[in-house]
Amino acid sequence: MKVKSRLVFCLFFALVVMLGLAPAAPAADVSTVEAWGNHIKSIYGGQELNLLVGAHPSIEAMRRYYQEFEELTGITVNFRIITDGTVRSAALVEATGRTGNFDIFGIDAASVIEFHGRGLLRDLEPFLNDPVQTPPWYDYDDIIPAYAQGIGTSKGTIVGIPIAGESRFVGYRTDLFEEHGKTPPKTMDEFLELARFFNGLEPNFYGVSMRAASGRQAGSGFNSIAYAFTDAPNIDNETGEPKFDHPDTVTAIRFYVDLLENAPPDVTTYSHEEALAAFMQGRTAMWLDATALTGRIMDPAHSVIYDKVDFVPTPNGPKGRNGALAGWNFVIPNDARNPELAWVWIMYMTSRATAMQYHENGGVPCRTSIFADPGLQAANWTFARQLEALDQSLGLMEDRGLKYNPDFAWASDLSGIAGTYVSRVMTGEISVEDAARLGQLEMIEFMEDFVN
């Protein structure tokens, strides 16, 4: 009889659940960081999290206070930090091998596109749309739109959360511009004219400095001006087809080469480091590179021009507003053994609630609230200049419907091929026309091998 009663009770309870009559489980309290931490600790306390990241100021900043995350959540965090130039290849080996060794990668924007194109990354939108996994105090909308749209998405899907971002802008010597009655460039034509004017004005003094070392460095430098002239510096944004021999791209190649005729004679060996050093040492009148390097230019311990410099957005060209977008993201590989645990780290460490702490520890800010903070703006006038540059970059997406990092897995490789041929023009090996023709052929061949 007892067995029969127990059976009737179980059937009755199952019916209640099916009809939705059972009382709902109380919702988790995640309204504050502390309440969220208690909730997370009750689920994940005692577990470990493994990160594969590149050596970068954003990571160093987090390492200065990540123990607070461990205390709050009871989760142990293990970092494997390698050089930023090798983290892509290491992460690619892990992801394609489906080793499951790492829960999170820290990779650059171009790698995010590549990894997603290869089907290696998890869609983060389900996490973002869950009010328990992502409480309101996270505030995704506070991430600078140019970064959220330009470096954290691929084919319209959110697959990365920015941890460091940059656009590019022109730094110029205010003392020299004032002395010679010049105004900073608003167009590419003015940029070239000014570079020619200042080039050779004094012995061993040059008009401009940019990255131009053969391969990916020259490809990056070329792309930072090319969108002013063409909608497809290397590949078509819609189809992914190579467009290096398009007439507009040929115009962009010629401009880049003409511009860097007014750079130091060893410019074809320059990465962003050498380009920056030439400007900070007072050897050039202008410089075009990453907004993330602003702090070094403004540091009197390393820069002789720290008190006579200003910045303007990347100049417009025939195609309109344009500008580079780059940066680093946290991503969750598809083979992560516990993606929900991975999201706990990403959500907390990139939240608005921890953004000021991140910035104060040397992180590269990605949130509007940091750039708009009155106290920070008063202490750092370059924040306004960086926002202007980011708005210029956003114009590439808003005005022209283009992404600086096209949504194709092979886009970064084609940029490197472009940089090889552009560099060969600068060293006098081939003509602009030959560079466009030969580069196009190599891109087609590469793409055929990549896709097939």
User: Of 382, 398, 421, at which residue does a domain stop?
Assistant: 382
Whether 188 and 156 map to the same domain: the answer is no
Residue 119 within any structural domain of the chain: yes
φ, ψ (nearest 5 deg) of residue 286:
-140, 165
Residue 362 within any structural domain of the chain: yes
Distance CA 392, CA 184 (A): 16
Number of C-beta neighbours around residue 140 at 10 A: 18
Q: In which element (H, E) is residue 385 found? A: helix 382-398
Whether 119 and 90 map to the same domain: the answer is yes
> pLDDT per residue over 84-113, tens digit each?
879 999 999 999 999 999 999 999 999 999
User: What is the rounded average pLDDT of the residues 54-59?
Assistant: 91
Residue 18 within any structural domain of the chain: no
pLDDT of residue 452: 65
Whether 340 and 260 map to the same domain: the answer is no
Residue 287 within any structural domain of the chain: yes
pLDDT of residue 7: 39
Whether 153 and 180 map to the same domain: the answer is no
CATH of the domain at 436: 3.40.190.10
Whether 320 and 178 map to the same domain: the answer is yes
Task: Write out the DSSP string of 94-144.
Answer: HHHTT----SEEEEEHHHHHHHHHTT-B---HHHHT-TTTS-GGG-GGGB-
Whether 150 and 222 map to the same domain: the answer is no
The packing angle between helices 247-260 and 216-226, to 10°, is: 110
Q: Report the relative pairing of strands 168-173 and 309-313 from DSSP bridges.
A: antiparallel
Whether 26 has a pLDDT exceeding 70, the answer reads no
> pLDDT per residue over 185-196, tens digit each?
999 999 999 999
Q: Which two tokens stand for residue 376?
A: 């920070």
Q: Which two tokens stand for residue 19?
A: 């009809």
pLDDT of residue 20: 45
Q: Which two tokens stand for residue 210?
A: 């940019």
The residue type found at 155 is K
Whether 289 and 348 map to the same domain: the answer is no
Whether 126 and 241 map to the same domain: the answer is no
Report the alpha-carbon angle 279-281-284, nearest 5.
40
Distance CA 176, CA 13 (A): 83
Average pLDDT, the chain: 92
Whether 178 and 126 map to the same domain: the answer is no
Whether 68 and 210 map to the same domain: the answer is no
> pLDDT per residue over 330-361, tens digit each?
999 999 999 999 999 999 999 999 999 999 99
3-class DSSP state for residue 250? helix
Whether 118 has a pLDDT exceeding 60, the answer reads yes
Distance CA 381, CA 241 (A): 42
pLDDT bracket for residue 10 (50, 70, 90): very low
Q: Which two tokens stand for residue 384?
A: 């306004």
> pLDDT per residue over 355-412, tens digit each?
999 999 999 999 999 999 999 999 999 999 999 999 999 999 999 999 999 999 899 8
Whether 433 and 294 map to the same domain: the answer is yes
Q: Could you tell me the residue range of the domain that residue 202 belongs to?
A: 168-324+409-451
Whether 421 and 339 map to the same domain: the answer is no
Residue 3 within any structural domain of the chain: no
Q: Which two tokens stand for residue 355?
A: 């953004």
Residue 388 within any structural domain of the chain: no
Task: Write out the DSSP string of 419-431.
Answer: HHHHHHHHTTSS-
Residue 215 within any structural domain of the chain: yes
> pLDDT per residue over 199-214, tens digit each?
999 999 999 999 999 9
φ, ψ (nearest 5 deg) of residue 345:
-65, -50
CA separation, residue 307 to residues 105, 140, 172 (Å): 38, 36, 11
pLDDT of residue 13: 39
Residue 141 within any structural domain of the chain: yes
This prediction has a pTM of: 0.85
User: Of 344, 363, 382, at which residue does a domain stop?
Assistant: 382
φ, ψ (nearest 5 deg) of residue 161:
-115, 120
3-state SS of 355-378 is: HHHHHHCCCCCCEHHHHCCHHHHH
Give the strand order in the sheet containing 284-290.
206-209, 284-290, 168-173, 309-313
Q: Total domain count for the chain? A: 2
> pLDDT per residue over 139-169, tens digit each?
999 999 999 999 999 999 999 999 999 999 9
